[in-house]
């Protein structure tokens, strides 16, 4: 349960030592922007997370921003979180690892909401939205970056709004800060429609954000969310889809290198009761676990895929951490919580498979054209990581180095990690066969696609198959 109150204003009475240094550093950046709002309204967790409460953010401050007439920026409410970074430095929430790296998760969230006429106080629902995102970060230990998207599938304010998903970008006014416990940047939440989310997946989040900056009603230069916006940027300007997004996909491809998904795969090369079968998962059975080295390679695969100009390559399997900018206790996007207690990597052999069956839910299936057109045709790779276990499916093109799938053996598995190498000719054939996957009508499920000459089968199944595997 949260409560709303003005902040204590202790700093105004010369009691700076009573303020935790990390908290004080963020307050300092807020005061730089809002020198006349020393005591903003604040949503605070009654029972702090480090005392067993459910809300990871200790505070969310809410400021009234007058906008900027010179940039045609309208008046709005500005929300700032406190708690994803290390506020205290005493290990009560975050492990203190020094001043050179990130403080806690290295960022705080912000949000800009259009102020409606006659509104005298900021709505508080954005605070719960920010708490929800913070819970995800704390529970998964996955961090956010500028350009990331969040599939929310519900109006952000629980209304009938079309704004049901989010993109993340750098806050246009708040600067990264150095605290006694490390660096903190400020990532702004931007509400978007389903069509804008889909375009960001197919192309890239930064590109869609730049288009939104050029349309005042869609956010304008400071990307202010208007929950009453009834049109997408493509309805406002129909030329954007073809002239910017489609052209961007064609020339640049997609920078989305992987997603968490509902997916499984079966090795059709072996009988179902073969005990040596190391396929990723069989409906109704206990999923096998990714080794920590496999997990590290998939994690690096996604990171490298997000680098626009990097050479398309799967890094060699290695047990060494590749990212030293983050505390060792933090897991990146695909690292498994249970990966430390698995069969040693050397005991898991890579197997070449003759025939495979891939199964996706509808949302994951609609991303297959993106995988093929936006990634593989540009010499890149794309990974589906199951949210229900340690299953992983990575599609690779012939230009990707370091893959254990080859043109001679295009299907290869390392424990529950399947790699599929697709030639450009086969990708083009699949795109023609999968063109209808853009439709999200679940009444038409299941959908079956088969390429007998390639010994590949893909099924698009209802969510219930994945949510209730024993049925």
Query: Domains in the chain and their CATH numbers?
Result: 19-250 (no CATH), 256-269+347-470 (3.30.1360.230)
Q: What is the pLDDT of residue 317?
A: 37
- Whole-number Å distance between alpha carbons of 255 and 308: 7
- Whole-number Å distance between alpha carbons of 326 and 103: 9
**In the block, residue with structure tokens 């389903």:** 194
272: left (phi over 0), alpha (psi -120 to 50) or beta: alpha
- Mean pLDDT within 454-462: 96
- Give 331 or 186, the one with higher predicted confidence: 186
Asked whether residue 315 carries a pLDDT value surpassing 50, the answer given is no
- Mean pLDDT within 245-258: 88
Q: What is the pLDDT of residue 330?
A: 35
- Whole-number Å distance between alpha carbons of 47 and 281: 41
- Helices (runs of H) and strands (runs of E) counted in the chain: 12, 19
**pLDDT single digits (tens) 264-277:** 999 998 765 554 44
Which band of pLDDT confidence, cut at 50, 70 and 90, is reported for residue 290? low
**pLDDT single digits (tens) 71-81:** 999 999 999 99
- Mean pLDDT within 130-137: 96
**pLDDT single digits (tens) 339-354:** 222 233 344 578 999 9
Q: What is the DSSP string of 353-372?
A: ES-EEEEEEHHHHTTHHIII
pTM: 0.74
Residue 115 φ/ψ, nearest 5 degrees: -85, 120
Tokens, residue 332: 């990146």
Average pLDDT, the chain: 83
């Amino acid at each position: 349960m949260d409560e709303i109150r003005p902040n204590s204003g202790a700093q105004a009475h010369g009691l700076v030592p009573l303020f935790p240094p990390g908290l004080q550093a963020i307050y300092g950046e807020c005061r730089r922007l809002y020198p006349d709002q020393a005591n903003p309204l604040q949503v605070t967790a009654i029972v702090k997370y480090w005392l067993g409460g459910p809300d990871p953010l200790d505070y969310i401050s809410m400021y009234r921003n007058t906008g900027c007439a010179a940039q045609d920026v309208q008046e709005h409410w500005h929300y700032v979180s406190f708690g994803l970074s290390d506020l205290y430095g005493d290990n009560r929430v975050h492990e203190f690892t020094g001043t050179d790296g990130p403080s806690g998760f290295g960022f705080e969230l912000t949000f800009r909401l259009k102020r409606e006429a006659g509104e005298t106080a900021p709505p508080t629902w954005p605070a719960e939205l920010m708490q929800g995102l913070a819970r995800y970060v704390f529970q998964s230990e996955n961090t956010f970056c500028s350009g990331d998207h969040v599939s929310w599938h519900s109006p952000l304010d629980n209304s009938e709004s079309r704004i049901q998903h989010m993109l993340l970008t750098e806050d246009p006014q708040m600067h990264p800060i150095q605290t006694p416990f490390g660096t903190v940047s400020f990532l702004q939440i931007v509400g978007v429609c389903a069509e804008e989310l889909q375009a960001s997946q197919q192309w890239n989040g930064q590109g869609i954000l730049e288009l939104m900056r050029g349309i005042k009603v869609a956010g304008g230069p400071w990307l202010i969310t208007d929950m009453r916006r009834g049109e997408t940027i493509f309805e406002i300007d129909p030329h954007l889809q073809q002239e910017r997004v489609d052209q961007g996909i064609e020339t640049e491809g997609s920078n989305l290198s992987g997603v968490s998904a509902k997916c499984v795969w079966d090795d059709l090369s072996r009988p179902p009761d073969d005990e040596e079968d190391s396929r990723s998962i069989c409906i109704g059975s206990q999923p096998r676990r990714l080794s920590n080295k496999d997990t590290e390679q998939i994690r690096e695969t996604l990171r490298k895929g997000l680098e626009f100009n990097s050479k398309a390559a799967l890094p060699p399997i290695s047990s060494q951490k590749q990212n030293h900018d983050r505390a060792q206790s933090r897991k990146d996007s695909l690292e498994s919580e249970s990966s430390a207690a698995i069969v040693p990597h050397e005991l898991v052999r890579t197997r070449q498979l003759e025939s495979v069956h891939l199964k996706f839910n509808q949302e994951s299936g609609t991303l297959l054209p993106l995988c093929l057109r936006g990634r593989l045709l540009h010499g890149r790779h794309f990974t589906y990581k199951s949210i229900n276990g340690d299953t992983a499916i990575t599609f690779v093109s012939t230009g990707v180095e370091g893959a254990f799938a080859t043109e001679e053996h295009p299907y290869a598995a390392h424990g529950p990690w399947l790699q599929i190498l697709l030639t450009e000719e086969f990708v083009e054939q699949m795109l023609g066969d999968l063109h209808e996957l853009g439709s999200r009508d679940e009444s038409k499920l299941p959908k079956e696609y088969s390429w007998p000459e390639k010994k590949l089968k893909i099924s698009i199944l209802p969510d219930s198959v994945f949510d209730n595997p024993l049925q």
